[in-house]
Amino acid sequence: MRCPKWLKNCVFYEIYPQTYYDTNNDGIGDIQGIIEKLDYVKNIGCDAIWLNPWYVSPFNDAGYDITDYYNVAPRYGTNDDAKRLFEEAHRRDMHIIIDLVPGHTSLECSWFKESQKVEKNEYSDRYIWSPYMMWKGDPELNRDEDYYVTGYSQRGAYKTNFYYNQPALNYGYEKPKYEWEQPVDAEGPRATVEEIKNIMRFWLNMGCDGFRVDMASSLIKRDKNYKGIIRLWKEFREMFDKEYPEAILVSEWGNPPIAIKAGFHCDFGLDAGGPYTYDNLVRDCWAWYMPGANKFPPPVFSFEGQGDPKSFFTNYMNHLKETEKKGYISMFSGNHDVHRLAKFLSPDEMKVFFAFLFTMPGVPFLYYGDEIGMNYIDGLSKEGGSLRTGSRTPMQWNDWANKGFSNANPEDLYLPVDNSENAPTVNAQYDDPNSILSKVRELIAIRKKYVPLQANGGINPLYVKSNTYPFVYERNSGKRKIIVVINPTKFNYEIEIPYKAKIISDISSMRVTAKRGRGCIKFKVKAVSYGIFQILDKETNYYVKKKNI
């Protein structure tokens, strides 16, 4: 399976529509606001945008509980606004993907209202119903979000995908066990599949460039080894390849080898099943709000130098081998479900992390506001966000009223802005060469300029050891080579790399020492620093030597 060429050198920017930019002064971000900020996103270097759900919804889960898949929620605008956004993005040679939530709807969806009726109708089997008063799903399944809700309808108990107000759509069971569990080829499940295809076609025909798929692995039930779900997504991918070959599918799966095998162009490295996976780069990710989160080992980006880069790279390289030339692993700065970087990292530490993010293979995603180091705000909860809400606050554009997000009264804002003394803004950082924003722009520009740093470039860990820093890796394309040195710790080191090399980018605390030895250049890697070097001698068989200083 091929990937569209535009992905090869692409950097995504995730926008949470509610809190990006409000143009009609109702306190909620809107599509027109996104249109007005397209040039800003393009200036950062991002040429694609992922939009969180913008469909009609009761917003009990911030729009991930959908009432109408075919219409934009009035608080964001209209379908005509959506079409204009696609057109304006394409005019700038940018792409837009939107969130697809195929696993569940809201309780207010007309499909569900019909399905819960006792009388048989077109939508009776659009959802999964048990005639018994079950409160939890089959313990044999490996997904603990598999719950039933009883007492809501005379029809019986409906299965959910996660929250009680998100009834699970019926894609069938790979291995039916009870009489109410339908096989995947039954009429009800097949009707669901065809409806999702129609939804995809509707937005793709309007100008959308693809979808980020929420909970992509959750559709088919009693499918412990994902055989059915892989088969299903291959069917969707076949439609894409035939009808929309330049559109993409990005999965929230967290297991790239399986997701790419299923037909996705990219999979987010979220939760791949171990302490030293993608979750553990800077945070405990999904574990940050779970009991026992403090049992996780220190993250790779550890100021104290206690993380384990080798374990991460071992896992990553295995995944890369399994997905090579089939699809991409997508890592991100953050998203709407996890704490912001600033909760864990200082401004300089964030710059070092961005050097890592934008020099790794695959298609990177930048979460709105991370480019200026926006803070995580404690004590907020909105539309089912709970502890996640603190990462969803309004974008901070300037020091005017409401940080430039909206001209509404502060009490009418979707969420309060960060009014802390150290609240960063775009305006303050835009022309500051030492700002996080300027460093992000620089790093993305470097990624786009040097082919080895792009999605398809090879990677070779050169100096990656357990509980040892800095870590060093090579990116390559043919005979062109780039070396990246990452030191997130408070310690200073000295290393040697090939003699014929020039520095492309570093952080101000790194100092290259012009001590040229036998075929190498020695330089100091100061605390919390990085360096990106272009290898000028393509034939050099180089090595890395390191010592603490």
- Where exactly are the structural domains of the chain? 5-101+332-447, 273-330, 458-548
Q: Which residue has the higher pLDDT, 467 or 418?
A: 418
Q: Quick one: tokens of 271? A: 């939760």
Q: Which amino acid is at 280?
A: N
What is the 8-class DSSP label of residue 264?
A: -
Q: Average of pLDDT values for 521-526?
A: 81
Q: pLDDT at position 442, please? A: 97
Q: What is the mean predicted confidence (pLDDT) over 184-205?
A: 98
pLDDT of residue 144: 40
Q: Quick one: DSSP state of residue 163?
A: S
Average pLDDT value for residue range 356-380: 97
3-state SS, residue 410: helix
Residue 10 has pLDDT above 70, yes or no: yes
Distance of alpha carbon 92 from alpha carbon 47, whole angstroms: 8
**pLDDT score of 539 more than 80:** no
Average pLDDT on 151-175 reads 92
The bridge status of strand 480-487 relative to strand 458-463 is unpaired
Cβ contact 200:100 at 8 Å: yes
DSSP string, 438-459: HHHHHHHHHHHH-GGGSTT-EE
pLDDT at 517 over 70: no
Residue 147 has a pLDDT of 81
Please give the share of the chain, as a percent, with pLDDT higher than 70: 88
- CA-nearest of 336, 420, 335 to 386 is 336
Which of 95-109, 302-316, 434-448 is least confident?
Answer: 302-316
What tens digit of pLDDT does each residue of 326-339 get? 999 999 999 999 88
CA separation for the pair 46, 40 (Å, rounded): 9
Pair 60, 47: CB distance under 8 Å:
no
Element containing residue 195 per DSSP (H, E)? helix 187-206
- What is the reported pLDDT for 546? 67
pLDDT of residue 134: 58
Question: Which pLDDT band, with edges at 50, 70 and 90, does 320 fall under?
Answer: very high
Confidence class of residue 496 from pLDDT cuts 50, 70 and 90? confident
Contact 286, 338 (CB under 8 A): yes
Q: From the CB of residue 294, how many other CB atoms can be counted at a distance below 10 Å?
A: 7
| Confidence class for position 273, pLDDT limits 50, 70, 90 | very low
pLDDT tops 80 at residue 548 = no
458-548: which CATH number, 2.60.40.1180, 3.40.50.10070, 2.30.40.10, 3.40.50.2300? 2.60.40.1180
Mean pLDDT of 436-442: 98
Instruction: Please compute the mean of the pLDDT values over residues 512-523 and round it to a whole number.
Output: 58
Report residue 109 as tokens.
Answer: 């969806």
Mean pLDDT of the chain: 90
At residue 101, the pLDDT reads 98
Q: What is the pLDDT of residue 507?
A: 72
Question: Which pLDDT score, from 0 to 100, does residue 297 have?
Answer: 76
Question: Would you state the pLDDT for residue 145?
Answer: 44
- Residue 275 pLDDT grade (very low, low, confident, very high; cuts 50, 70, 90): very low
Q: Report helix, strand or coil for 235.
A: helix
How big is the chain by its Cα radius of gyration, in Å? 24
- pLDDT tens digits for range 301-312: 999 999 999 989
Rounded distance, CA 228 to CA 160, Å?
19
CATH class of 5-101+332-447: alpha beta
Helix (H/G/I), strand (E/B), else coil: 82? helix
Please give the single-letter amino acid code of residue 355. Answer: A
pLDDT tens digits for range 384-421: 999 899 999 999 999 999 999 999 999 999 999 999 99
- With 50 as the cut, is the pLDDT of residue 286 above it? no
Average pLDDT over residues 19-31: 98
Higher local confidence (pLDDT), 28 or 531: 28
